[in-house]
C-alpha cells in the first residue's frame, strides 16, 4: 500500500524550472525523463514518487499495483503495452489510469479519448508498470490466443511465443535475438522488419510511418547466416537453398494477441536478406472499426467531394498512388461510411486484410484459379449493389470493372499510377475503349501519406529564402513553420503518425469529351485546374504552411 499521508508529505517535489529543463533535455537526447533525472543524481526508486508529489497525484507502489484489477476490456493489453500505461478497476468500480509520467499530456489525452469515461490518475514507476504487464502477458496469451492457436495447429502451422518471459528463458542466443527483434518491432509499431546482410554482419531496420530506420546491427557473418536460417525455420522454408528467393509465413503470439508475419528471403552478394511484413489484424481491426473519411487527414473540400462520389448509385471511383500510400485504407473508410445495411457490398482483395462486418469479402487465390477477373465475373452474378476491387492489374479486370460500373453498380477500386492524369494513360495502354471508360468513371483520387510532426519536440523555425519561394510565400509574408527535432516519444525521428493528402479529379461532360477526343494532356490539365482540381503538391504544401509537417518531408514524398 502507499505510504501514510504524513510520510508522503515528506517526499520533496521537483523544482518546476529543473523539471522543465529535464524534460527538454530528454526530448533533445531522445531519452525517457526518468533516465535524465537519474543522470542528474536522482535515485531511481524516488523519481516516480517525486513526480507524483509534483503533480499532486497519488503514487502506487508495486504492492498496491498488484492489488488492483486490470481493465483490459476497456483498454486492451496490447495498447497498454504500446503506451506503457495501465487502466485499472478498483473495488468501487472507478477507472484508474496508471502512468509513469503524469506530465505526458499526449498520453493522458489519448487515454481519455480511448476510454471515454472519467478516470483517476495514479503514478507508478515505469519498472513496476512493465513488470505488471509482463506478469499478465502469459495469462492473456493463454486465454485470448487459445482459439487462434488451436485453429493454426489444425492447419499445421506452429505459433511462436514472443514474450518477455520466453525471451529471457531461451537458451539459444540466435533464437533470443530474433524473438527480441520481433518483440521490439511490434512494440514500436513497425510495419516491416528488414534484416540486411553485409560483409561484416547483419543490420536490423524497422519501417515506421513508411520510413526505414536502423535500430541495430550484429557483427559476424556466421551470426548473420544463423539469424536468416532461424527465420527460414520459423517460416518453414528450405534452409539449404540460398540461391533463389523464397516466400513464407509464420504466426507469433505476442503482446496478448496472434500476429501474422510474412517472410521474403532474397539472395544477395553477401548471403541472404530477409524482410518480415507484420500483419497485425487485431490492431488493424481496432484502427479500422471507427474509420471514416474524415479521420484520414484529407482537407475539407477533398473529403466532401470524395464522400459525394462514394455515395453515387453507380459509376467507378479510382484511388491511385504508389505502394503504401493508403489506397486500401481510403476504400475501407468509404465502405464504412456507405455501408448502412440496405445494399449488398462485395469485395475481392489480395489479401483480405481486415474483416468488414456485413460485407462479403472474397480473397484472391491464384493457385486455385481465383483471379481478380474471374472473381469479379462471379460477383456480378451475386446481385451486388456496390463492389470493391482491391487492385486493377490487367486489361481483363479493368474491362469487367468498367462494364460493372456501366450496368448500375458502384465500383471502388485502386490502380498504381503517380497522379490522376497518369491513370488515363494507364487504362488507354490496357486497350480500353475511351468512351466506355469515361462513361463509367466518376472520379479519380491520387494520394500520398505524409508524416506529421511530433508535438512533443517540434520547434518553430525561420525558413530560408529558397523554402519561402517553394512554398509560394508573398513578399513580406510570415509563415509559421516548424522543424522536426526528435525525442523519446517519436523515437528520435521528429515525426509521429501520418495523414493523407490527395488530388481529386471529378469527371464532367467537358472533361469527358476532351479525353475521348484525345486532347493533349496539357489541355486536359488546364480544364481540370479551371474546374477546381488541386495538384497533390499544393495539398501537401498546405500542411507545411500550417506547421503540421516539414518542407523536407514533402520533398521526400511528393514530386
**Which of 248, 279, 310 lies at the terminal end of a domain, its last residue?**
279
The answer to whether residues 533 and 396 belong to one domain is yes
Does the structure show a pLDDT above 70 at 165? no
Q: Quick one: 111 and 207 in the same domain? A: no
Asked if 509 and 425 sit in the same domain, the reply is yes
Q: What whole-number distance in Å separates Cα of residue 460 and Cα of residue 244?
A: 50
In a domain, 405, yes or no: yes
**pLDDT computed for residue 226 by the predictor:** 92
pLDDT exceeds 70 at position 478: no
Query: What's the whole-number average pLDDT of the chain?
Result: 83
Please check whether residue 11 lies inside any domain of the structure.
no
User: pLDDT band for position 38 (50/70/90)?
Assistant: confident
pLDDT score at 167: 67
Please report whether residue 239 resides in a domain: yes
Q: What is the pLDDT of residue 506?
A: 94
Q: Which three cell numbers stand for residue 486?
A: 526528435
| Exposure letters 452-481 (e unless 16+ CB within 10 A, then b) | bbbebbbeebebeeebbebbeeeeeeebeb
Q: Are residues 252 and 307 in the same domain?
A: no
- The rounded radius of gyration (Å) of the Cα atoms in the chain is 27
In a domain, residue 20? The reply is: yes
Query: So what's the pLDDT on residue 352?
Result: 82
pLDDT band at 6 (very low <50, low <70, confident <90, very high): very low
Q: Is residue 269 part of a domain?
A: yes
Gap between the Cα atoms of 362 and 466, Å rounded: 50
> How far is 288 from 283, CA to CA, in rounded Å?
9
| Candidate from 3-7, 80-84, 511-515, 522-526 with smallest mean pLDDT | 3-7
What angle in degrees, to the nearest 10, is found between the helix axes of 327-338 and 300-310?
60
Q: Are strands 246-254 and 345-349 parallel, antiparallel or unpaired?
A: unpaired
pLDDT tens for 172-226 read: 888 888 888 888 888 888 889 999 999 889 999 999 888 888 888 888 888 889 9
The pLDDT score that the predictor gives to residue 286 is 57
Whether 7 shows a pLDDT value over 50: the answer reads no
Give the pLDDT confidence score for residue 13 in this predicted structure: 77
Q: What is the mean pLDDT of residues 239-249?
A: 91
Examine the pLDDT at 389 and tell me if it is beyond 60: yes
Give the pLDDT of residue 163: 65
d(CA 226, CA 249): 18
Q: Give the model's pLDDT for residue 255.
A: 63
Q: What is the 3-state secondary structure (H, E, C) of 185-225?
A: HHHHCCCEEEEEEECCEEEEEEEECCEEEEEEEEECHHHHH
Same domain, 99 and 164: no
Provide the percentage of residues in the chain whose pLDDT is more than 90.
29
What's residue 5's pLDDT? Answer: 44
Task: Provide the domain limits for residue 182.
Answer: 159-279
**pLDDT at res. 152:** 43
Please identify, among 84, 106, 141, the residue that sits at the C-terminal boundary of a domain. 141
- Same domain, residue pair 137 and 172: no
Rounded CA separation 87/110 (Å): 13
On whether both 119 and 164 belong to a single domain, the answer is: no
pLDDT on residue 44? 64
**Structure-block grid coordinates of residue 272:** 541472404
Distances (CA, A) of 436 to 237, 496, 524: 47, 43, 18
Tell me, yes or no, whether 423 and 501 share the same domain.
Answer: yes
pLDDT at residue 283, as a whole number:
61
List, for residues 314-355, the tens digit of each pLDDT value: 999 999 998 888 898 899 889 988 988 889 999 999 888 777
The residues, any chain, with a CB within 8 Å of residue 556's CB and separated by 6 or more, are none
pLDDT of residue 12: 74
Give the end of a domain, one of 228, 250, 279. Answer: 279
Is residue 472 in some structural domain? Answer: no
Answer with the residue of higher pLDDT: 345 or 486: 345
Give domain status of residue 330, yes or no: yes
Q: Are residues 174 and 311 in the same domain?
A: no
pLDDT at 289 over 60: no
pLDDT, residue 135, reads 74
Residues 407 and 430 in one domain: yes
pLDDT, residue 254, reads 73
Average pLDDT over residues 376-389: 94
Q: Which CATH number covers residue 228?
A: 3.30.450.90
Domain count, the chain: 3
Handedness of CA 218, 220, 226, 231 (dihedral sign): positive
Same domain membership, residue 313 and residue 269: no
Question: Residue 130: which CATH number?
Answer: 3.30.300.160
CATH number at 335 reads 3.40.50.300
Name the pLDDT band for 142 (thresholds 50, 70, 90): very low
Q: Say if residue 377 is in the same domain as residue 510.
A: yes
| CA dist., res. 525 & res. 463, Å (int) | 31
The answer to pTM > 0.75 is: no
Quick check: 445 and 466 in contact, CB under 8 A? no
Residue 362 inside a domain? The answer is yes
Highest mean pLDDT among 86-100, 291-305, 517-531: 517-531
Amino acid at each position: 500500500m502507499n505510504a501514510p499521508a504524513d510520510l508522503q508529505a515528506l517526499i520533496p517535489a521537483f523544482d518546476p524550472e529543473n523539471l522543465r529543463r529535464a524534460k527538454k533535455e530528454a526530448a533533445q537526447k531522445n531519452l525517457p525523463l526518468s533516465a535524465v533525472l537519474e543522470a542528474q543524481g536522482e535515485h531511481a526508486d524516488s523519481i516516480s514518487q517525486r513526480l507524483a508529489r509534483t503533480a499532486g497525484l497519488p503514487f502506487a507502489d508495486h504492492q498496491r499495483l498488484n492489488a488492483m484489477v486490470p481493465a483490459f476490456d476497456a483498454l486492451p493489453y496490447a495498447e497498454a503495452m504500446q503506451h506503457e500505461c495501465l487502466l485499472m478497476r478498483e473495488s468501487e468500480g472507478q477507472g484508474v489510469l496508471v502512468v509513469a509520467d503524469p506530465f505526458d499530456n499526449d498520453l493522458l489525452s489519448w487515454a481519455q479519448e480511448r476510454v471515454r469515461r472519467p478516470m483517476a490518475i495514479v503514478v507508478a514507476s515505469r519498472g513496476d508498470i512493465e513488470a505488471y504487464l509482463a506478469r499478465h502477458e502469459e495469462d492473456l496469451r493463454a486465454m485470448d490466443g487459445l482459439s487462434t492457436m488451436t485453429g493454426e495447429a489444425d492447419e499445421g502451422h506452429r505459433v511462436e511465443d514472443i514474450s518477455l518471459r520466453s525471451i529471457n528463458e531461451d537458451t539459444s542466443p540466435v533464437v533470443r535475438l530474433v524473438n527480441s527483434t520481433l518483440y521490439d518491432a511490434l512494440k514500436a509499431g513497425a510495419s516491416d522488419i528488414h534484416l540486411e546482410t553485409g560483409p561484416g554482419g547483419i543490420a536490423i531496420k524497422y519501417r515506421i510511418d513508411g520510413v526505414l530506420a536502423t535500430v541495430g546491427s550484429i557483427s559476424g557473418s556466421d551470426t548473420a547466416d544463423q539469424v536468416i536460417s532461424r527465420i527460414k525455420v520459423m517460416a518453414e522454408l528450405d534452409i539449404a537453398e540460398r540461391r533463389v528467393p523464397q516466400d513464407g509465413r509464420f504466426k507469433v503470439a505476442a503482446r496478448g494477441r496472434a500476429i501474422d508475419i510474412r517472410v521474403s528471403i532474397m539472395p544477395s552478394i553477401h548471403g541472404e536478406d530477409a524482410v518480415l511484413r507484420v500483419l497485425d489484424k487485431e490492431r488493424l481491426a481496432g484502427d479500422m472499426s471507427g474509420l471514416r473519411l474524415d479521420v484520414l487527414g484529407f482537407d475539407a473540400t477533398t473529403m466532401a467531394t470524395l464522400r459525394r462520389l462514394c455515395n453515387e448509385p453507380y459509376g467507378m471511383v479510382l484511388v491511385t498512388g504508389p505502394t503504401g500510400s493508403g489506397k486500401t485504407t481510403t476504400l475501407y473508410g468509404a465502405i464504412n461510411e456507405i455501408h448502412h445495411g440496405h445494399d449488398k457490398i462485395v469485395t475481392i482483395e489480395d489479401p483480405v486484410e481486415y474483416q468488414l462486418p456485413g460485407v462479403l469479402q472474397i480473397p484472391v487465390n491464384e493457385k486455385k484459379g481465383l483471379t481478380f477477373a474471374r472473381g469479379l465475373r462471379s460477383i456480378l452474378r451475386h446481385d451486388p449493389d456496390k463492389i470493391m476491387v482491391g487492385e486493377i492489374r490487367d486489361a481483363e479486370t479493368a474491362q469487367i470493372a468498367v462494364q460493372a460500373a456501366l450496368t448500375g453498380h458502384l465500383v471502388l477500386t485502386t490502380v498504381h499510377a503517380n497522379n490522376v492524369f497518369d491513370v488515363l494513360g494507364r487504362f488507354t495502354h490496357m486497350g480500353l475503349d475511351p468512351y466506355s471508360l469515361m462513361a463509367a468513371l466518376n472520379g479519380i483520387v491520387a494520394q500520398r501519406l505524409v508524416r506529421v510532426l511530433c508535438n512533443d519536440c517540434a520547434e518553430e523555425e525561420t525558413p530560408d529564402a529558397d523554402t519561402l519561394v517553394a512554398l509560394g510565400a508573398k513578399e513580406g509574408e510570415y509563415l509559421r513553420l516548424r522543424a522536426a527535432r526528435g525525442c523519446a516519444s517519436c523515437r528520435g525521428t521528429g515525426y509521429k503518425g501520418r495523414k493523407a493528402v490527395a488530388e481529386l479529379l471529378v469527371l464532367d461532360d467537358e472533361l469527358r469529351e476532351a479525353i475521348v477526343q484525345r486532347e493533349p494532356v496539357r489541355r486536359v490539365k488546364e480544364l481540370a485546374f479551371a474546374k477546381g482540381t488541386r495538384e497533390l503538391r499544393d495539398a501537401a504544401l498546405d500542411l507545411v504552411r500550417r506547421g503540421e509537417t516539414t518542407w523536407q518531408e514533402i520533398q521526400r514524398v511528393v514530386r
